[in-house]
Structure 1
């Protein structure tokens, strides 16, 4: 008998972020007839062992090589039984009501193709790629040289709900029948561009993609992939694949893509990593003993959600007692999160983690 939802999480070497993600997804599927499928692309860390030990109900698929984003997700969807599927990154955190809200929204639409939500990064900043336009050659060329006008869907505010052309593959919910109808992710793409291609195929099939800005999730962007010259090469290579498939071949565009990749390499070398500055930790928890368990080199205080937080503080949320929805809401509150940074302590975990830059790995502190 079909389930309501299958959550597909493709993992590659992000064991700690995956653990946090799975805790949030388990909480979000508690009241939904759902299954969770983790497809591991031959991680070299102990991701698979962790899933088996801590999440025995999760269906784990262990690939024997890194098959890329498209093929890895297609393998997961082939095993899915849900009427709906949600493609989800392993470095995300979802609220307890996220899936119920989006499923209810999807079922209320007459011409539903897919829906995404408002994504924020590890600093609580809105990620504009949550809603995008089809990158025509002109728009893509501007994007290569740092001009994003026309690339993002500016007709909708971050907290709005409405139709958009392109969603991001970090969080994308759609009917499994629609995914199959349009052929799923195109396996010509190894990484990047697959979500643009899938979104475009859905609209070409006459269906609508929606952005639901009232539903918010954290995407620790920069953890699954780093922004370096390899990223630039793969991203703009993906754009070339997209245009060859859906638009006329443009030699001028190909030339500018090459220059864009070279420029990205130069800018990457010139970009210095900003060191995170904070002088103390503040734990949002109701457990006084939490301070005794932590071996941190800075002062640690215990606070509640309503406590005013001073500058240069790293706020650590105890997910054993604080709902994910409350954590996400605090992250996204720009009035509260000025001049502070965040980490999360997952349920029953011996580590805290966070990510404060889209260009560098997130930080995991074990104790």
Structure 2
């Protein structure tokens, strides 16, 4: 099996249908499997999957467990050489998956690859290049952890840099979880996704651990996806605040005083490593 596509959805029936249709088109000539994890939806998602996507492997959770744990459920049954984690609120262009797999085949050091993300209005989404939203950038600057993400240039003029780099294939620190192509061997080597990042931040943590394992993360802008960025919880709710800012606290606590050694040219080691990274 060449590719396992994993989509996690919660109450996104219409967007999920749209996303799966474009994924099926993009994977038509690829030896692939589709794994859909429904995180206890209360809409027509399960009925729609049964009626329209009978070929998919469906995992139906009876209670909400979050995207990190749900993605691990998909990873547990995936058999592909590569794994594509993709959000249910995305539209994939026809040649996107094929081009990304060709890139990973020719770059054996690629552990993770992301692509250009555009809004439905066609606006470039900068987080597809940096992997960080502004709150995460602020956290990394305030804690000093930004020094370990030099390729994101968090201390530079991001707007000017982004315009220059939008169409450049380059190594990056973090690949955004909305579209995350992974070498399954690399994911297994780092023991999958940290489930403490219930809804947010697991892509940042996974990208970092894959780099620590000796692989590279790449931004591949020669193809694109449309990202509707529909949150499963509105930003004004306690659920959103708890999981979004809680993920930042977990990340800082995990790495601030126990930062593993990153062998990055020109970056000083601020903290003595407390453990060895297996390679």
TM range (shorter): 0.7 to 0.9
Decide whether the 8 Å contact of 2:131 with 2:176 is kept in 1.
Answer: no
TM-score when normalising by structure 2: 0.81
Map residues 276-287 of structure 1 onto 2, 5 A cutoff: none
TM-aligned CA distance change 1:199 to 1:173, over 3 Å: same
1:202 corresponds to which residue? Answer: 210
**1:22: how far off?**
0.6
The equivalent position to 2:184 in structure 1, one of 176, 179, 189, is 176
TM-score by length of 1: 0.62
| Alignment equivalent of 1:236, drawn from 238, 245, 268 | 245
Tell me the equivalent position of 2:234: 226
**For residue 80 of structure 2, what is the aligned residue in structure 1?**
82
Q: Which runs of 5+ in 1 are unaligned?
A: 143-147, 250-367
Equivalent positions of 1:35-54 (< 5 A) are 35-54=33-52
Matched, 1:58 2:56: yes
Conserved 8 A contact 2:5-2:83? yes
Q: Which has the higher helix share?
A: 2
- SS state of the match for residue 82, structure 1? coil
- 2:101 corresponding residue in structure 1: 103
Q: String of CA shifts for 1:163-215, please: whole Å, max 9, x gaps.
A: 00011111000111111111211011111110110011011112100001111
Candidates 106, 119, 125, aligned match of 1:121: 119
Distance, in Å, in 2 between the alignment partners of 1:149 and 1:33 is 38
Give 1:94-173 correspondences, 5 Å limit: 94-132=92-130, 135=137, 137-139=139-141, 150=154, 154=161, 157-173=165-181
| Separation (CA, whole Å) in 2 of partners of 1:202 and 1:136 | 23
CA distance in 1, matches of 2:98, 2:16: 21
CA RMSD of aligned residues (A): 2.3
CA distance in 1, matches of 2:138, 2:4: 32
Question: How far apart are residue 240 of structure 1 and its match?
Answer: 1.0
Larger Cα-atom Rg: 1
**Post-superposition offset of 1:50:** 0.1
What is the alpha-carbon distance in structure 1 between the residues aligned to residue 130 and residue 44 of structure 2?
35
Secondary structure of 2:117's aligned partner: strand
Q: Deviations over 1:135-181 (max 9, x none)?
A: 58552579xxxxx9718794662222110001111100011111111
Q: CA deviation at 1:222?
A: 2.8
**Unmatched segments (≥5 aa) in structure 2:** 145-151, 259-279
| CA contact 1:139–1:149 (8 Å) conserved in 2 | no
> Could you say if the C-alpha distance between residues 8 and 138 of structure 1 is closer, same or farther in structure 2, counting changes exceeding 3 Å?
closer
Q: Using CA pairs under 8 Å that are at least 6 residues apart, name the structure with larger relative contact order, 1 or 2.
A: 2
**Aligned-pair distance for 1:235?**
1.8
The answer for the alignment partner of 2:28 in structure 1 is 30
Report SS of the residue matched to 2:98. Answer: helix
* 1:149–1:112 Cα change, 3 Å: closer
2-structure distance, mates of 1:106, 1:225? 34
Report if aligned partners of 1:83, 1:177 keep a CA contact under 8 Å in 2.
Answer: yes
Question: 1:88/1:242 Cα in 2 relative to 1: closer, same or farther (>3 Å)?
Answer: same
The alignment of Structure 1 onto Structure 2 pairs a total of residues equal to 242
> CA, structure 1 residues 133+42, in 2 after alignment: closer, same or farther (shift >3 Å)?
closer
